[in-house]
Structure formats: structure tokens, C-alpha cells
Chains A and B, each alone.
Chain A
Amino acid sequence: MDLKTMTYIIVGATFALYIGIAFWARAGSTGEFYAAGRGVNPIANGMATAADWMSAASFISMAGLIAFQGYQGAKFLMGWTGGYVLLALLLAPYLRKFGKFTVPEFIGDRFYSRTARLVGVLCLITISITYVIGQMKGVGVAFSRFLDLPYETGLYVGMAIVFLYAVLGGMKGITYTQIAQYCVLITAYTIPAVFISMNLTGNPLPQLGLIGNETSSGMPMIAKLNETIQAIGFGAYDGDPPSYLDMLLYTITLMIGTAGLPHVIIRFFTVPKVSDARWSAGWALVFIALLYTVAPAVGAMARYNVTNTIWPNGVQSEPVAIDNLPQWFQNWETTGLLKYEDKNGDGKIQFYNEKSPAMQAMAQEKGWQGNELTKFDRDIMVLANPEIADLPNWVIALVAAGGLAAALSTAAGLLLAISSSISHDLMKGILTPNISESGELLAARIAMAGAIAVAGYFGLNPPGFAAQVVALAFGLAASSIFPVLMMGIFSKRINNHGAILGMVAGIGVTLAYIFAYKGMFFIPGTAIFPASTPEHWIMGVSPEAFGCIGAVVNFIVAYVVSAATSAPPQHIQDLVESIRVPRGAAAAVDH
């Protein structure tokens, strides 16, 4: 069977499964729509959380980022997993005990302020919309590469599927679909990785292959990779990062940003008990770790395979001739993600680091006219993995289904966070407090449909700054939501003024630093600094890494302002007391 038919069958089967689950798990009440009736088993919730969390970026882009960054790519690995420790120890159990439906609702109640709730809603919507645009783009790209459908058609199909199960089932439908999506994506990610690890190191576990020996040379895998890429002028794979400080702050920002992402936090509202929320965070990280511990091996081995494809016998010998390029090379060239140019007209591809003086000397000597592998998009690393390892067509089709599962599951979680904060925080909480249960459920469904339309619009007309706004999402979550939630639980003294001014100050400095490098509201030409490159960053700190400094500002401002103004009223202090003890969590279900 040819690849396209196979892909249609596998992707079609997974979609049918998701829709089937949607009809089975329809939501009948707001409790089911917002929190799946708080009846989800902690292990099942952990799996759903893992699918919710692992987006198109985790599945498709992360291993490629690590492949090109080497050691310092670990900031993504530690950052996007370490946040779960914070979530489990500092936030999840208490927010579950609080027993409400949304993150802004906690902020509004704890700080007895509609303004605080409104600031929370604004942060949540900015973060979630930003994030969902990337998922929609991922869906469109996966369709156009694997099913030969136009990007727009792919996007419409993706929107229709999400619409069906998210609008019908709310959190309940999304949770059970995400469990299925997790199974699809982890299988799709692991199978090619196991085969590639077997081929290169003889070890079927990629985690061990990474620290094992490369079979043909008997050298450690990473040492062999170092030798291979240093021969063509690149830095060592395990070499020092440009700045240890930047790597540190970047990691911290991703960690506290992860713990402050509303669509992840609301997943812990779905379990029956406080103790389940603790277990569930652990299970979520188990399922996330299954992919995240494999990703560094995928990155390193893909980098080695690609370099070896072009220089099969090393740089002292001849590179591969264009006529002898493997099939996957040709396949990906047609997508435009990979480009080569035979600059010196010798029918071969010289691939090397043009910036390296040693390589410039070698090029002069050998008559090279520059690096001829002119484009190699990092996203290819994971998507082309099964082709590079020469695996059967069904594995390639499975990777397509896995990429789609990762994008759709994350999109659905984000859309739920957006719609619940519109119907529950804005309408029920502020604009129309007397709305009935069925009215609110209808409003939630309309808000969900509206959010899908907005996400689809941005997917079709991606804003030029799409790649840069990811820094914004994590920066905002780190500098606003995480600190305010943590202070709300661990301090009885932080009051409404402190919380609001703290959030505004944290967001303010973070946005100021990002905009100073990327342009005011990302408008080109309005940046204060000439470029966002290491030589212009203050103390070498990148805008992406700045969120944790915003968080520190938030903590300090909130503390100082609260100390200078009156303590919160007694009933708020009692509320804090009550969320600190697990007993009585079940009673909070039907509020």
C-alpha cells in the first residue's frame, strides 16, 4: 500500500476514534463542561494532562531545537518538566481544594477584587490565544505534508474535529479524547526513536543509547557526534552554552511559566480529591517523561544521521552526490523545509559551517563556493525520522497521526481555558451574574465555537510575529499568574492592592524587556535595541529568559504594597486556612 493511502487510513481511524469518544462523553452540566464532573481517575488525568501539555512544539520542534543547540537545549527539557514539581508541591492540591472552575476565579475570590479577576482573564486569554495559533499552524502543516491537502483544507478539517468534541463534550469530552491522543502520540514518537537507537548504538532504549557507544566506531555516541560535526566547523555538541546565566534564567522562566499556564492548572480541577491532585501531577510527569527523556536522544542521533548522510566517509573524502541522495531528502526538498544549491557545480553537496576560519581555508583549497545545504528546518528532525531510519510506511503514517494528536489535544485544552474564562469569569462572574446553569452552559459552548473561529482565523492569517509570541506566553504566565497564585496560597497577608499592583508590575517589566528587543507590540521598527542578539542583551539575558525576573518584581511589589496597606478581611484569611487542609474537598464539588 502506498504511503498516502496508508496515511489517510491511519489518520482517518484516529479521527473517527476521537469523534466516537466525543459522542460517548457528552457534557450535560457546567460541572461536566468545566471540570469533567470531578470524576476523572488520577492516572487517566495524568495521561490527559500529558497530551494537553505536549503540543506540536514538543512533538515536532523540540528534538530539532536540541539537535542544533546541543547541551544548552536542555533548558527546554528541564524547563518544561521541572514546572510540574512546582505545580504538584505549590499549586495543584490547594487549587483543587478551593474547588472552583477557573484560574481567574481563584484570583478574584482570594483577593476579593473584580479587577484582579479581570487582570487574570486578560492574561489567560492572551496566553491561550498565543499558544493556540501555533497548534492550528501545526495542524495545517501536518496535513499539507502528509496528506497532500492544501494548508487551508487541513486547517478547516482540524477546526471541525476540535469543534465536534470540544463543544459537545467540554472538559469531559476533551479529557477522554486526550487519553486516546496521548497513546497515539507516544507510540508515534517512540517507535522511530527505538529503531534509530538500535541502528546507531545497538541499544533499544534511546535513553541508554544517548550515553552508550556508537556501534561502528566503538566511541561514545556523543564523542562520535562531536568528532563528526567539529570536522565540518561546528562547535562541540556538549560544549559550553554562550551564557550559563541566560541558560539558568531561561530554564527558571520555562519552569514557573509552565506552572502558571491556566490550561494545565485547570486539569487538576477534574480529579475527585486533593490527594488525587498530588498523585495526578506525578502521573502527568511520568507520561511526559516518556517523551522528554527520549527527545535528547532523537536530537543527537538525528544530527549525526543527517551529517553522515551528506559526508558518508568524512570530510576528507567526497560528500554525497546529488544523484545519490536518499529518497527522504528529495521528499522534504519539495516541502521547502530543506534546500540545497550546487554553488560550485560539481554535482555534490558540500555542507559545512561557513563562519569557521578553518573551513574557509579548506574551502579555498578544495574549490568550494560556500555551504551548499542552504536550508535545513529543525522541524524535519522528528518528522523525517522514520524515513531516515528506513522504516515501513505505516510508521511514517503514524508519525503524521501523532503530530496531529499532539496539536489537536493541546488546542482543545487551550480552547476550554478560553471559553470557561469567558462564560464563567466574564459573563457569570462580572457581566450577567444571574445567568442560569443551562444559559451558562450554552454561553460556554458559544464561547468555545467563537474561540475556535478566532484560532482558525489566525491560523489562516498567521501574524508575522507568531514565532516570537511564545516568549510572551511563558513570560506572562511566569510573571503574573504563577506568583499571584503562590502568594494567594502561602501568604495570608497579601491583599487585593498588593496582588493587583504586583501583577501589573511583573507583567510591565517583562513586556518592557520583550518589546525593547522585539518591537512595541511586535511592530517592526519600534524596538529600542538594534537586534535581539546576545551582544545586545543586558548581561546576556535574552527576552525569552526574562519572565522569572518579572516574577521577582511581582513578588516584591505585592509584598511591599500589602505591608503598607491593611490586611485582608477575616473571611479571606479563613478561606486561605480552609484551602490549606485537604479535608472537605468533596463537599466543594457542588458549590
Chain B
Amino acid sequence: MQDLLKIMLVALSVAAVHPLASAQSLSQKLRAEPATALVNAALASGNAVRGAILFPLQKSGCANCHAAGNSTLLGPDLTRLGHPVTNESLVEEILEPSKVIAKGFETATIVTTSGKSITGRIVKRSASEIVVRDTSPERRLTTLETADVEEIAENKVSAMPDNLIDQLKDRQHFLDLLRYVMEISADGTTQAPAETYSRGGGTIRQELQGLVLLKQFNCAGCHRDDVSPNSVPVNPGPNLTWSGGHVNPHYMQKFIADPAQVKPQTGMPDLMAGLSDEQRHSLALELTHYIVSLSEQSFRKQPVDDEAAVRGRELFHSVGCVACHSPRDDAGQEMLSKSSAPLGTLEDKYGIDGLSEFLKNPHEVRSGGRMPSLSLTHWEALDIAHYLLSRGSEDQSAADGSFVRDPEVAEKGRLHFRRFGCATCHGKNQNHTAATAPPMSSLRIDQGCLSEDVGPWPRFDLNIQQRQAIRAGLSGRTRVLSDEEHISVMLTAFRCANCHQRDELGGVSPERNPHFQTTNPNLGPQGRIPPTLTGVGGKLNPTWMRQVLLGGRLTRPYVRTRMPQYGTESLAALVDLFQTVDAVPEEKYAQFKDQKAMRTTGHEMVGTGGLNCIACHTFQLKQAANMPAVDLTEMSERLHKSWFYRYMRNPQQLSMNTIMPSYWPGGRSIRRDILDGDPDRQIEALWQYLLDGRQARQPRGLIIEPIELLATDEAVMLRRSYPGVGKRGIGVGYPQQVNIVFDAEQLRLAMIWQGKFADPGGVWRSQGHGTVRPLSRNVIRFAPGPDLDDANSPWIVDEGRPPQHRFKGYSLDKQRRPIFSYEFDDFTVTDYFVDAVDPKSQQSLLRRTLTLQSKQTDGHVTFRAADSEEITRGDDGTFRIGQTLKVRIASDQAGQVVDTESGHQLHVPLDTTETSSTLVLEYLW
């Protein structure tokens, strides 16, 4: 197990190590061997599981271009090579890729009429367009109009580098990889996947787009929605009670007076058509006074903190804001404003507090959920607010935001508010609007709000496409959406499709692609691009999906773009819709009798001895060596079993971006020694294991970080169980690299060693049933029983608690070294170990000072300083204890070597005729 882990870790760092290895590279050496020899060696000793794990690693890079069951990648789908494959030819193709390039996988360099040049593989070619997958790390798909193509030059050299194999550690790794590739390409005729990937990027039909806009502009506020009332939740205007306290009144006034001028594309209509600028201005002022009066808070501006703004910029461009809003350049200029949701001049509108509050909890202000919550912490929201407001307001009147309330003006404003019907969109209860205007089905679609005329109707800032879409939507007339249409309308309305692809619809656009980031590049594109929604209802359990959509539950911590939250009920309908539309029939599952046995087998398969899932998958938040792939302990909670079966059989077929290797290529297991190699039973065993969820037993190979307790400039201490010491051990590591365990139950020095202190893993992991392990092989242990005892009665030598001794605790000196304190009979005892360096030997030593105090003065007590099989008295006055340790009595008492059953003990009889006596011992090496 450890070997494999080591190997995989090495595999990650091969590039750095390799150049030093030898003059001849691995690929050169391998090319010198006959292909047959390599094939035979792979068959004899290649480990396909290890190969499967090497295959997707970034360093070897196979999965960047090749996959099983995905035909649009840069390299051939290895399960369907489409030409006669022998194992020998595979060796050749890996070692000399350019010798024979698979048909259709030649790379070409295409020069466009505008002079742009793209190198890649042509995946589709028709009369009108050419689709190229380029060789950039992103492997981007580009569609070119045939008319724009100036020249296509086919390349003679394969896109696969000749020396790719040099990324591997050694010949064995090559054999492992070869063995795996032999497995997946074994029959070369695997049937084509039923589903082929759509490129996405599509949008919904115009009339559906119209339905989205009808809700977005809250048309049902005035027109009863008899067209498609339940397609999407409506989008009311902001909660003005909040705005009154958080939006700059000067901005508010300007905005009300001419909404589209201040914020192009706003959903707020102009209600004052036909009025003069002066009239607009004064009405807007009165309305502003009214709105401000709704809040007890007053707008305030705060200074921008430049450091926070820097953090905010990073957050803005990574957590997901720019999936809908425009990314900004260094100067703060929007780069994609045309295709983005507008922000307007936030500097004029908000203060830091107001904007951060809105970002933290947007649904309090905008209940329609179009602006989702990105689960920002208070501090993240502040940082983003500092960034978005960092340019400062250019509007002088808005600069300080001060505003004097005037109740009389506000009262006038209140009357306008009623007159204009502002509450239609800004009221508390959106469902009880007067709906005075004609119902939607009877609207004349070229008049009123949908015309460009000015009249007694609200004027929305619609562009021509929007107008046409709304007209198309209205002409649908009380049509009932199919479930799939309903889904795509929802995905569009809430801009889910900006990040997620579902069949033809949506997906990350090329220009926003760079802003989708990952914490771990080893995962490839799946590490940063939000997962596909194609078939998602057949994949995820409804409970899980609800928790993700509405409860903020996440399982891909490596995707830096956060899954937004849209408010409790906005998206709830999607859960059922997905489940209905995407339902797939149950698979035929493997039958078994003994569930426990299956679970045990599954446990073995997940570990290093089986399919080694643990090499890449997180287990209970503990990251694997290679990459943080989805947590194994959440699989069964997330997934439908049928999906799990299908995915296991052919991962790329269901998930385009996955780098999960196929362990059952062509329906054959690469581990034929487990469960007779039966794929279904193997998959079932995994599932049975995963069903245990959080309770699943830790698989073999889970990396456990070592813990070490070390003394540096102070003593370190841990009261726990030590080997051979009861449960009341007190271990102390001293800065001079000497260590003891004091037994607080028996009041004795139990262990002593030089070197590093201890590994507490045995008591700090799992239930804590182990012991603290001293980090030395040369630990000296002393016999049970207390160190201080009555000289006239037999010495206690059992492991129990001595009846006359009572531990009283300890105090710490300035270096955190304990002074133990206990009582024995009538004596009060302190026992104090201090580390030092022996001037003679330059070795560290422990000086132990024992003090006794007693009211009585006629005791006969003896102190046991050490014991061993052999104790001899040295010439220098020290006692040699066994092989390595010496004890010197530094005070004026005399030691005696006493025979015991098991060897010798060093005793120091103590004179207790004084009320206080002191014994000083030195333990030396």
C-alpha cells in the first residue's frame, strides 16, 4: 500500500526528478526494446489499476486528449480506435505517435481570412462551417465559417508529443499504463455511446425567451397572466423599505426621473413619459423623500479600503459574479458589458455597508431571486463592495449622500407613489395587484408598452430583440409548456445556463471561460467548469438536489465558482421537473445474498488493494494524494443507483469532462480476480459499501497526516496513556531533547528517553483507544510501583494504585516544566525534572529534585531512583543503569544497589529526621 502511494506521489513530481536520472531518456530506452517484449512484460507484470490512475494524471496527461466514449476530444477514443489494434501497435503508437496518425486525428493549422491561426483537430466539417478543437490547455472548440477560412494546412506530426512517456517515473509505470491502455482498447469495437455531446451554447426559442422577459419585467403586475402563469416565478421590484435606508437619495432621484438613462437595461420603467425635465425632477424628488421616509436608517457612505478592494477584485472574478456580470479590466472598465447583466453606476448608488448587505443577502431586497446569493461571508461581501465602489462617485451631488428629510415633501411623494401604482412592483404582496390593464392573451402586441411610442403607459428600456421575444411569447396564447420547455425557461430566467450546459442549451461561454477557476488543476476541466445538467434528474436524488438548489449544499469544493442560492422557493419546481424529465429505467442490478460480504468487498475495492478509488477521491473531507475528487462518503446520498451503474461502466459517456478512468472497459473488469471479474457484482459491491455514507469504514490507503508533539523552546506535556503506563501517564518533552513519562497513579518515573518527544496519534485519532508513542527506539522503562515507599514494608510492585500515595497536581516553571506534587503517608513531596547539558559529555541530562516535608520526623523511607537487569557502580560515582543510562546522586545521600527478582534497583535511603529533605539525581546518557 505504502509503495503505491509513494509511487503515485513520485509520479506527480517526475518532471522535476527525471532530468537528473540518466543520459538516455525513458522513451529512448523503451524504443530500443522490441514491442513484443514490452507487451509481454506488461501482460506479466503491468498493473492495470495503477495504469488507470496514471492515465488521467496531469503529468502523464493522457486524459487531456484521450477518453473512453468521447469522440470530440483531441485524441482518438481509445475504446474505439476504429482500426485493427494489436498490443504491439499500441506500443508503437504510444512511443512513436507520429509514425501512424489515426485517421481523423491529424492536426491542422487553419488560417482565417482575418489572419488568425488555429492549430487543432478538425472534429466537424461541413459545407458551411468547420469545428476545431484546439491544442490549448483548455482544448477549446472553435467554430469557423467556411467562408472565413483562408487556408488549411494538415500537419505531419501528431499532436501527441514523442517524449510524453518521459513524464513517467520508470519502465514499470510504462508497463502499468500500457497494460491499462491494452485493457481499454482490447476489442476496439465498443459500441458507440448512445448519447453524443452537444456543444451547448444554445439559447431557447424566441417565444420562450418572451416568457422569461414577461416575468423578468413583471408584466403580470398590470396584465393578468393568462399566457403562461406558472412558467417562472415573477420578478418584483426591490424592497423600497430597504432601499430607503441604503441607496443614495441623490442617485434615487436621478434614477426615478429617468431610469434607462441612469441605468441602461434596467427593469424599472419610465412612468413619467411626456413630462418636462423639470416636472420629472420635482416628482422624483418627492418620491425619493417618500422612499427615504420608509426606512429608519439613513444612507451613509464609507471610505474605500484599497486592500479590501484588491481582495474583492479577486473574489468578484472567481466566485461567480462574472458568470452574469461583466468582468472588468485593470482600469475597472467592463469588458463584456453587452452580454452581461448591467450593474449601473454602483458608485453613485451605494455605500460600502449597503452594497455589502445586499450582496450578502440579496433576496431580502430583491425577492425575485434573479440576483442570487453566492453564500458570501460578511467579510467577502465587504471586500467585493469595496472593489465595486473603488472608483468612487463622479457625481458631485451624490458624493456625500447627505439628505435632509422633509415629511411634508415625503407626503407628496406618497401620493405620487399611489398615483403611479409603484406598489404594483414594489408592494409587499405581489399577488394582489389591481391588474387593471387587459389580460395578456388579449394584448395588441404592437401597441402600448411594446411600441416605441410615448403614451400613458410605463416605458421599458427594451431592445428590438426583447420586444420581438415578448411579442412571440404573448402570441403563444395560454399554451402549456412541456416539462423540458419549462426547465429551459427556468434555466434561462435564472441564468443557470450561464454556467451549466443542458443538452443544446447554455454552458460556459468562451469569453467567460477563463474566469471559471479551480483550486486543483489535476482535475482537469471538471475541476472548474460547473457540471452538466444533461440528464441530471437521472443522476441526483431529489433530496440532494433540493439541498444543493435551496440549501446551499456543495460537493465540489475545488470549483471556485460557487453554486448560487436563489431564495427558498424560486427554483423548487426544478427538482421535480428534472426528476420527471430525466427519469431513466432502473438498471438490472447484480443479485447477492450476503450484504455484509458485499460491503466488505466494496471496502477492499475502494482501497489501495482494489481499484484504488482512494488515490483520487476525497473520503470524509480528507483529501486523496492525487486530487480532491468528489467525496466517497456522499455518493450514495447524492446519486441514483442506476446512474452510478451506468457511470461506472463508462464514465465519459455521462460526464464529458470527467477524467475518471474506466475500470470496466468494453464491459470487462480490469480486476478479474475480484468477484470472478463480474462487472455488475463489482459495481454492486462498491455501491453497497458507499451506501454506508458517513459510516463507511476508512478504505486502505487513506492518507493520514502524522502528528508529532515536539518540545522546542519550552517543555511540552500530555496527560494520556503511554505504553506500559496506566491511563494516568504524564508525558513531558523537554527542550534539551530529553523526555519522561511520570505516572500520576503510581507516583513514579515510568519512562525516560532521549530525542524527540511523542506521537499522540494513538489517543488523538479514532476513539482514542491507543497510547502515546514515544518517538524513540531507546526508551528506558522502569518497574511498576511508587518511587517513594516505606523501607520497612515490602515494596509495592503491582500495577494498581498504591494506598498511601495521593497525587496532588503540579505547577509549571517558566519553561513550562512541571513540578509534580504528591502526598505519601504524612509526607508532602515535590518531584521536579529539569533538562540541562552535561558539561563533560555535552549530552543532555535530566536533573531531578525531590523534596520531602513531614510533620513527623521518624519515618524510614527509601527512594527508588532506577531499576534495571544490571546496575553497576562506576568509578566516577555514577551508577550505570543497563546499557545506556547513568544516574548520579548529586546531593549528599548515598545510593544502594538492591537485588530484586527481576534484576537490580538503585535505592536511596532518605534521612527524614529533619522536617525537610532534598534529593537531587541526575539522569545522564
Q: Do A and B come from one complex?
A: no
- Which residues of chain B have a CB within 8 Å of any CB of chain A? none
